[in-house]
Structure 1
Amino acid sequence: MGTTHNYETTDVALAKLHLLGYVIDFNVEFDEIANDADHYQIDHLYRYEGDSNPDDESTVYGISNLKNGKKGVFVAGNLSIIEGKKRDIILNLEIKYRKSNNG
């Protein structure tokens, strides 16, 4: 845990995470996280910031389930435009990730 990558693009980050077994698309299958958020953690975090346009910013999360080992990715642009519960869960997972890597 605690890996932040600096890939050239979001697509490269997704491809690398896929090779590491992060195959579930949690953007589509988010209910799995929502129903059991306490058993999920962020293992990999990648932020891509566009050179000039803030709309080009995105974050790729490599997320795993501590209980059953399932791994997948969640991709977000601006978290403030994501619906409430989904945004809150991702932010809480990111807070736990940052605390475990800085404390």
Structure 2
Amino acid sequence: MQQYETLTDALNDLQERGYVYNFNLADDCLECKEENVRLHPEQFAITEFYRFEGPSDPADNSVVYAIESDQGVKGVLVNAYGVYADSISADMINKLRTVTSA
């Protein structure tokens, strides 16, 4: 897996490799407003992920997920480590937690 110095470096490289859409967390799925797509946990794979820690503030911790749908839509989800505190379904929590705890 690639190593990146910054979140911006990761996002730029992923975009060059075809991860061009931005996903957002919804209650039970990922949403891509650009393509009007909603992906439920069984409809996408997390192909890569990268953690970034702020130099002094724990609130600066984030993770970027490289997402690929079962229909070939590729994009990224950027979120704080505390994503599991958000109001999302157990299936979404498990999907995201599975890769980051490996």
CA contact (8 A) 1:64 1:72 kept: yes
CA contact (8 A) 2:41 2:91 kept: no
Of Structure 1 and Structure 2, the greater strand share is in 2
Alignment identity in percent? 33
Of Structure 1 and Structure 2, the greater helix share is in 1
Q: CA-to-partner distance for each residue in 1:64-102, whole Å, 9 max, x for gaps? A: 01x2111110000121442223x751x322344368xx6
Normalising by structure 1, what TM-score? 0.73
CA contact (8 A) 1:50 1:56 kept: yes
Partner of 1:21: 18
Gaps of 5+ in 1: none
Partner of 2:75: 72
Q: CA-to-partner distance for each residue in 1:12-52, whole Å, 9 max, x for gaps? A: 1111110111111002627612xx32021100100001121
Map 1:21-60 → 2, pairs under 5 A: 21-27=18-24, 29=32, 32-33=38-39, 36-60=40-64
Gaps of 5+ in 2: 25-30
- Secondary structure at 1:52's aligned position in 2? coil
Structure 1 segments of 4 or more deviating over 4 A?
Answer: none
- Secondary structure at 1:32's aligned position in 2? strand
- Secondary structure at 1:18's aligned position in 2? helix
